[in-house]
């Protein structure tokens, strides 16, 4: 998913050209589309897609903050941990 977010933010083709400069979206918009947008598409926005007290605790922990790195580095960010329904199901190095 981080690669898809990188694509939406940077709009760079495999040959390295920017395709659709005016169609780039912000990092925030890309993450919102990947989280809330996905939940909304499956009619699950009442239980998934945003971090709220009553919703399922599905999230990832990243090794860098995608909102602070250069947008070209988003695809290189590593997932350190994956949490599903409040339980760690993946942790880097385990």
pLDDT per position as a tens digit, 24-80:
999 999 999 999 999 999 999 999 999 999 999 899 999 999 999 999 999 999 999
Q: Are 88 and 82 in contact (CB under 8 A)?
A: yes
- Considering the entire predicted model, what is its pTM? 0.88
Domain ranges for the chain, please list them. 2-91
């Amino acid at each position: 998913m981080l690669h898809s977010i990188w694509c939406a933010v940077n709009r760079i083709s495999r040959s390295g050209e920017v395709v659709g400069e005016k169609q780039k979206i912000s990092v925030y918009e890309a993450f919102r589309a990947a989280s809330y947008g996905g939940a909304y598409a499956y009619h699950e926005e009442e239980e998934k897609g945003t971090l709220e007290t009553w919703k399922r605790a599905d999230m990832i922990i990243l090794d860098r903050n995608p909102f602070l790195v250069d947008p070209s580095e988003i695809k290189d960010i590593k997932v350190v941990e994956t949490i599903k329904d409040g339980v760690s199901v993946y942790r880097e190095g385990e």
